[in-house]
């Protein structure tokens, strides 16, 4: 999976003296079709996201022009970065325009890339007229954009390695997964709409390995023997009760698992160097957190 920087108006303003086109943040200004990024590459317009003070998305506060250098890559390819969203909640967001009909714009509590931080994704935008309530404010929130869609697709082109030696570790989380249908509560009662068990489904998240030099690794070693009894190759979600979508919104139930990011060296690899530096995002057993993600109104 390929990742590149994302470009918004805030980032462009910071490097205006380097010759990058400055994109206005306020008013009805349209986004230029292309810009030149900091490395001299042509970056193509991906989306114009506008932020509003009201749930009908009529009172505009500001907007972001987003650009990408992975526009021709397959689904699952993404760009990541910051956003100039408002610094107070509540506010609302809408994709006014995008040349990519399958685009997915994921907002996260942090700027991990792809989404894997605490709470993971808190809102998802798609091309269309959905007016999405945003419950996290800038600064600090992140954006991951999938121009061709496919958020959550994991791609591997992997040598197999028979072992892993650990140098360091830190607490982390898996990528979020959707575990219910999208619930339409735009005409719901003031108390919201419950996500019933019949609307939910189970899915799994998996331990993932990657080489520091790039590309995936196929681990053919025992996870519990290597990392400890609390860890597993994969873990499945379960059906939940007590979650609801806020009145006037659409949304779904999402889940992510606690994990640990181990850094070290893969050993006994079948191609390339026998020993390759890399990292392992290892899933903890039965350690899911469930959250509601707003998708529109």
DSSP per residue over 62-123, as a string? EEEEEEES-TTSPTT-EEEE-----SSSSEEEEEEE-S-TT-EEEEESS--SSS-STT-EEE
Q: b/e string for 126-153 if b means 16 or more Cβ within 10 A?
A: bbeebbbbbebebeebbbbbbbbbbbbe
Most confidently modeled range among 113-122, 184-193, 208-217, 257-266: 257-266
Please tell me the predicted confidence (pLDDT) of residue 58.
Answer: 87
Checking if the pLDDT of 8 tops 50, the result is no
Checking if the pLDDT of 21 tops 70, the result is no
What CA–CA distance (Å, rounded) separates 218 from 270?
A: 10
Mean pLDDT of 129-154: 76
**3-state class of 17 per DSSP?**
helix
Specify whether the CB–CB gap between 107 and 137 falls below 8 A: no
The DSSP secondary-structure symbol of 156 reads -
The two counts, helices (H) then strands (E), for the chain are: 2, 22
Checking if the pLDDT of 3 tops 60, the result is no
Residue 199's pLDDT band (boundaries 50, 70, 90)? very high
Please tell me the predicted confidence (pLDDT) of residue 215.
Answer: 63
Residue 114's pLDDT band (boundaries 50, 70, 90)? low
Min mean pLDDT across 71-75, 193-197, 239-243 is at 71-75
Please tell me the predicted confidence (pLDDT) of residue 144.
Answer: 84
pTM exceeds cut of 0.85: no
Checking if the pLDDT of 31 tops 70, the result is yes
User: Could you tell me how far CA 168 lies from the centroid of its own chain?
Assistant: 25
Mean pLDDT of the chain: 78
Mean pLDDT of 218-235: 89
Mean pLDDT of 214-225: 79
Distances (CA, A) of 188 to 114, 132, 232: 33, 16, 40
What CA–CA distance (Å, rounded) separates 293 from 268?
A: 42
Q: Which residue has the higher pLDDT, 114 or 80?
A: 80
What whole-number percentage of the chain has pLDDT above 90?
22
Residue 136's pLDDT band (boundaries 50, 70, 90)? confident
């Amino acid at each position: 999976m390929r990742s590149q920087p994302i470009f918004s108006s805030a980032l462009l303003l910071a490097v205006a003296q380097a010759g990058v086109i400055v994109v206005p943040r306020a008013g009805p200004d349209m986004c230029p079709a292309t810009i030149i990024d900091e490395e001299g590459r042509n970056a193509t317009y991906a989306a114009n996201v506008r932020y509003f003070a009201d749930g009908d998305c009529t009172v505009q506060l500001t907007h972001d022009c987003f650009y990408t250098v992975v526009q021709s890559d397959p689904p699952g390819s993404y760009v990541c970065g910051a956003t100039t969203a408002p610094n107070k909640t509540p506010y609302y967001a809408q994709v006014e325009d995008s040349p990519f009909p399958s685009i997915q714009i994921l907002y996260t509590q942090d700027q991990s890339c792809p989404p894997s931080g605490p709470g993971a994704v808190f809102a998802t935008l798609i091309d269309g007229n959905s007016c999405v309530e945003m419950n996290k404010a800038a600064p600090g929130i992140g954006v991951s954009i999938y121009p061709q869609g496919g958020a959550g697709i994991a791609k591997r082109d992997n040598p197999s390695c028979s072992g892993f030696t650990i140098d360091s570790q830190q607490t982390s989380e898996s990528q979020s997964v959707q575990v219910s249908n999208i619930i339409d509560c735009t005409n719901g009662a003031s108390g919201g709409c419950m996500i019933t068990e019949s609307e939910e489904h189970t899915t799994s998240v998996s331990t993932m390995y990657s080489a520091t030099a790039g590309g995936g690794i196929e681990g053919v070693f025992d996870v519990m023997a290597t990392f400890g009894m609390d860890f597993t190759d994969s873990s499945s979600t379960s059906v939940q009760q007590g979650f609801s979508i806020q009145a006037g919104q659409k949304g779904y139930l999402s889940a992510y698992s606690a994990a640990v990011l181990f850094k070290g060296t893969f050993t006994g690899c079948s191609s390339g160097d026998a020993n390759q530096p890399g990292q392992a995002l290892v899933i903890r057993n039965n350690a899911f957190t469930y959250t509601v993600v707003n998708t529109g109104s």
